[in-house]
Structure 1
């Protein structure tokens, strides 16, 4: 597995930078086309828009992976962030009061948020974005995971007993590192990391790492 340290990017020759850029694009194309092929889409126009927008989004993602200032390494071959994985999921350190204090402050729409996902004992932390805020009801809505109270509790109705349990987390460096790197855990401990979707990868570029400890 080939890694590069973000601090080393500036000393790469132009040829090497182009090679890394091409490798990242190839990895992202392979991942996204596999993802699209597994979707059940009845809307052909939606499929056409997804495929049509790939070139722009993938080039942007590859460029940002090479340029973004993050305390993480890059796996060129998988187009993914890499960092040492904690023995236990950082969500175990959940503090409802700290979560409430974090989200009970002025927030902007589009801000990146982190969600703990527990599906049949397999845990990971996933990036999402805030698209609605209801200050009167003290709740917010995430683009993928729906409504949460400001202390992080999910307000979405689960219709299936096997549905994944979700919890909005206060972002910390450990939480965001786990989310960006796709770290996963099961009852035995660390498990195989998951590859981020292109959407999650794009969200990771919006993180201001200097804000978190």
Structure 2
């Protein structure tokens, strides 16, 4: 079931609100437990901490999905954002000078950012967050991917995930953030099957101000 953003306020005033909330929670639990089952944990306490915080994070995500003002629609059954996908990934249109100026003017710790991820045979845009800033050196650190110059260039000597070929920090706009929030994927033929966002990415998407793209 898709819910337009303009109707989300009404959800809280009718009897379907609890049903929608429950469906979102179920979809998120299924996705996160499937993801955790595929991960390798050398430390059992780490798995225990992740499981222990799951209930809180899932309820927060489901609740905020129903309240968030966004140009995107919500797919209740899959707990995902839905929006029109561009025929091609727009990351190759990035202007380094404009990217640099935007981040110099707007960057701050905790801000949600968009990163172009080029993998073997596919590409997508992924949400990350800023956890360190060094404007003296003209760079910022993304929580998952590492250091980037504020003009978008990836600065690490190696990429932490072996299947990734290249990374680029992008200046946010509606098209970039729509692609990231909806999990849009592209391959050499064009559009491909969207990927499911992790719970972390979904929570990051809920922090976006769609009027300023911050």
| TM-score (normalizing by structure 2) | 0.95
**2:153–2:168: 8 Å Cα contact kept in structure 1?**
yes
Distance between the aligned counterparts of 2:172 and 2:164, measured in 1? 24
CA RMSD of aligned residues (A): 1.4
**2:117–2:164: 8 Å Cα contact kept in structure 1?**
no
User: Deviation per CA, 1:119-141, whole angstroms, max 9, x where unpaired?
Assistant: 01301000000000011111110
Find out whether 1:149 has 2:133 as its counterpart.
Answer: no
User: Deviation per CA, 1:164-206, whole angstroms, max 9, x where unpaired?
Assistant: 3100000011000000000000000000000000000000011
**2:32–2:199: 8 Å Cα contact kept in structure 1?**
yes
Residue matched to 1:137: 137
Q: CA deviation at 1:106?
A: 4.9
Change (3 A) 1:180 1:138: same
Change (3 A) 1:161 1:77: closer
Structure 2 unmatched runs, 5+: none
Find out whether 1:21 has 2:35 as its counterpart.
Answer: no
Distance between the aligned counterparts of 1:82 and 1:198, measured in 2? 16
Distance between the aligned counterparts of 2:179 and 2:164, measured in 1? 22
Distance between the aligned counterparts of 1:50 and 1:84, measured in 2? 33
- 139-148 or 96-105, larger mean C-alpha shift: 96-105
User: Deviation per CA, 1:85-124, whole angstroms, max 9, x where unpaired?
Assistant: 0001121211111111111225220001000000013010
Structure 1 unmatched runs, 5+: none
Distance between the aligned counterparts of 1:66 and 1:106, measured in 2? 28
Distance between the aligned counterparts of 2:117 and 2:126, measured in 1? 7
Find out whether 1:200 has 2:207 as its counterpart.
Answer: no
Distance between the aligned counterparts of 1:10 and 1:107, measured in 2? 31
- 91-100 or 52-61, larger mean C-alpha shift: 91-100
Find out whether 1:32 has 2:32 as its counterpart.
Answer: yes
Within a 5 Å distance, the mapping from 1:25-64 to structure 2 comes to: 25-64=25-64
**2:130–2:140: 8 Å Cα contact kept in structure 1?**
yes
Distance between the aligned counterparts of 1:3 and 1:205, measured in 2? 17
- 106-115 or 171-180, larger mean C-alpha shift: 106-115
Distance between the aligned counterparts of 2:212 and 2:169, measured in 1? 18
Distance between the aligned counterparts of 1:163 and 1:207, measured in 2? 26
Residue matched to 1:3: 2
Distance between the aligned counterparts of 2:124 and 2:36, measured in 1? 22
Residue matched to 2:101: 101
Change (3 A) 1:94 1:32: same
Within a 5 Å distance, the mapping from 1:183-194 to structure 2 comes to: 183-194=184-195
